[in-house]
């Protein structure tokens, strides 16, 4: 056997895959991996079927179908009041994950540094490493996961090529403020760094708050890759359609990687989404209300249980604070919750370079009301048992 030297020696299987597999094995209710368990809009299903029947089954253009890129430009204009050129600034990707990966590979050179904020989504650092870069991880401040901008300023230098930014934030469930974007912009300009902004939960901002996109911030717009997801917006994570919006020179470099990474993305899925957006240009507007109701349903189910529920400003997750019941070892608590409580959750420590004691696990609220209710009941029962045994 030839000896194989891993390029990612510390990397195992993602926590999402591990937890979903365990949930199936243990028959646990799965509030772990973020994906809906309810059906998509049947109209979208019909449009995918129609695209297949119409023979839209050969390679789509490398950059994405023009009809879809045009609808994306319309959507951006509608959401953020800004223009994006579908020809030179919008690229359709295999989910947001490919956009993130291809953008990082396109711009990070060996030896360069990339800033990421912990807890950081698990795909960021491996992409930086494969590019030969070094990830500099800066923790958000606990307990409410805020940016420590003076610390960010101290970590940035001429070596910083890119800042990985994410709002609404998975898994912290926070939404960056206009002031956060101003701080980010000032530092990026000062160090001539680029920004990769992961905005896949753009429409899931609650309690009347609003999402601040880098696209609507002129200084960030000209130095950012902004990444979005139809998987999230259409409740269809398995369609694997995302997109990246970036200035023309950035997009040119992104496409050099994209074309040899995935080449082009599912043609019938793109055609169907383009048709769907043409019929329903308001797509996305309903998501804040829809997911806020789910969040509130779960919160109501757990009121008085002894579990703490930190504010969830956005995303389709809710953190569960178990500090009343167990020490802040989130891996151990998630394990007990799935084996003894019958509910799968996602611990936060896999999203850290050096995890502090964490009294939280993440629950997904993008689930049917029946599943939320059943999980709420199990969580209450588990809390009662923990209380009784303490
Ligand atoms: N984005 C999803 C989450 O945070 C997981 C996607 C995946 O499994 N790669 O749960």
Tell me, using a 6 A CB cutoff, whether residue 14 lines ligand 1.
yes
Whether residue 21 sits in one domain with residue 70:
no
Over range 104-131, report the average pLDDT.
97
Has residue 3 been placed in a domain?
no
Q: Is 58 exposed, middle or buried (0-12, 13-18, 19+ CB in 10 A)?
A: exposed
Confidence band, pLDDT 50/70/90 cuts, at residue 49: very high
Tell me, using a 6 A CB cutoff, whether residue 33 lines ligand 1.
yes
Identify which of 260, 254, 263 has the alpha carbon closest to the alpha carbon of residue 107: 254
H/E stretch holding 29: strand 29-30
| Per-residue pLDDT, 330 | 97
Instruction: Show the domain range for 303.
Output: 15-39+285-389
Please, which residues have CB within 8 angstroms of residue 244's CB and are 6 or more apart in sequence? 90, 91, 93, 99, 102, 103, 225, 226, 227, 228, 251, 254
- Residue ending a domain, among 232, 264, 279, is 279
Tell me, using a 6 A CB cutoff, whether residue 305 lines ligand 1.
no
Whether residue 305 sits in one domain with residue 341:
yes
CATH of the domain at 227: 3.40.640.10
Whether residue 236 sits in one domain with residue 98:
yes
| Per-residue pLDDT, 228 | 98
Q: Is 62 helix (H, G, I), strand (E, B) or coil?
A: coil
| Per-residue pLDDT, 44 | 98
- Pairing between β-strand 224-229 and β-strand 241-245 as defined by DSSP bridges: antiparallel
pLDDT higher than threshold 90 for residue 361: yes
Distance (Å) from CA 218 to ligand 1 centroid: 30
Confidence band, pLDDT 50/70/90 cuts, at residue 1: confident
Whether residue 294 sits in one domain with residue 274:
no
Whether residue 211 sits in one domain with residue 314:
no
Has residue 366 been placed in a domain?
yes
Mutation test of ligand 1: which of 20, 34, 127, 315 has the most ligand atoms closer than 8 Å to its C-beta? Answer: 34
Tell me, using a 6 A CB cutoff, whether residue 30 lines ligand 1.
no
Whether residue 316 sits in one domain with residue 264:
no
| Per-residue pLDDT, 390 | 76
Whether residue 338 sits in one domain with residue 197:
no
Beta-bridge mates of residue 260: none
φ/ψ of 242, rounded to 5, equals -130, -175
164-204 pLDDT tens trace:
999 999 999 999 999 999 999 999 999 999 999 999 999 99
Whether residue 91 sits in one domain with residue 19:
no
The count of domains in the chain is 2
* CA-346 nearest atom, ligand 1: 10
Distance (Å) from CA 192 to ligand 1 centroid: 31
How far apart are alpha carbons 367 and 31 in whole angstroms?
8
89-103 pLDDT tens trace:
999 999 999 999 999
Tell me, using a 6 A CB cutoff, whether residue 67 lines ligand 1.
no
Confidence band, pLDDT 50/70/90 cuts, at residue 66: very high
- Residue ending a domain, among 228, 250, 279, is 279
Mutation test of ligand 1: which of 23, 31, 35 has the most ligand atoms closer than 8 Å to its C-beta? Answer: 35
Query: Cα dihedral angle (73, 174, 119, 294), rounded to 10 degrees?
Result: -90
For ligand 1, atom 10, the nearest C-alpha belongs to 34
> Considering the entire predicted model, what is its pTM?
0.97
Distance (Å) from CA 120 to ligand 1 centroid: 12
Confidence band, pLDDT 50/70/90 cuts, at residue 2: confident
Whether residue 57 sits in one domain with residue 119:
yes
Over range 135-142, report the average pLDDT.
98
Whether residue 52 sits in one domain with residue 24:
no
- Residue ending a domain, among 211, 246, 279, is 279
Please, which residues have CB within 8 angstroms of residue 13's CB and are 6 or more apart in sequence? none
């Amino acid at each position: 056997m030839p000896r194989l030297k891993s390029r990612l020696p510390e990397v195992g299987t993602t926590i999402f895959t591990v937890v979903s597999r365990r949930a199936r094995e243990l028959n646990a209710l799965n509030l772990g991996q973020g994906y809906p368990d309810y059906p998509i809009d049947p109209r979208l299903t019909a449009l995918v079927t129609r695209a297949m029947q119409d023979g839209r089954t050969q390679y789509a253009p490398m950059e994405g179908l023009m009809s879809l890129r045009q609808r994306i430009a319309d959507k951006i204009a509608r959401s953020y009041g800004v223009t994006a050129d579908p020809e030179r600034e919008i690229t359709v990707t295999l989910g947001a994950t490919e956009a993130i990966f291809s953008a990082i590979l396109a711009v990070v050179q060996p030896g360069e540094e990339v800033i990421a904020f912990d807890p950081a989504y698990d795909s960021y650092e491996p992409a930086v490493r494969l590019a030969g870069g070094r990830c500099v991880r800066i923790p958000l401040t606990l307990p409410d996961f805020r940016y420590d901008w003076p610390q960010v300023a101290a970590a940035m230098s001429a070596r910083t090529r890119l800042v990985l930014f994410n709002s609404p934030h998975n898994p912290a469930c926070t939404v960056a403020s206009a002031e956060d974007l101003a701080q980010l912009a000032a530092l990026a300009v000062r160090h001539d760094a680029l920004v990769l902004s992961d905005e896949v939960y753009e429409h899931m901002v609650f309690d009347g708050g609003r999402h601040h996109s880098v696209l609507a911030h002129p200084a960030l717009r000209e130095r950012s890759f902004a990444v979005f997801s139809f998987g999230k917006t259409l409740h269809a994570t398995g369609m694997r359609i995302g997109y990246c919006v970036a200035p023309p020179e950035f997009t040119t470099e992104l496409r050099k990687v994209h074309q040899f990474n995935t080449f082009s993305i599912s043609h019938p899925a793109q055609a169907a989404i383009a048709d769907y957006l043409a019929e329903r240009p308001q797509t996305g507007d309903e998501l804040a209300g829809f997911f806020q109701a789910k969040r509130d349903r779960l919160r109501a189910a757990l009121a008085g249980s002894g579990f703490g529920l930190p504010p969830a400003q956005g995303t389709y997750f809710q953190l569960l604070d178990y500090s009343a019941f167990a020490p802040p070892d989130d891996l151990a608590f998630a394990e007990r919750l799935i084996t003894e409580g019958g509910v799968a959750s996602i611990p936060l420590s896999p999203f850290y370079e050096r995890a502090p004691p964490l009294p939280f696990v993440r629950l997904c609220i993008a689930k049917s009301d029946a599943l939320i209710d059943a999980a709420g009941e199990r969580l209450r029962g588990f809390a009662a048992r923990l209380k009784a045994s303490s």
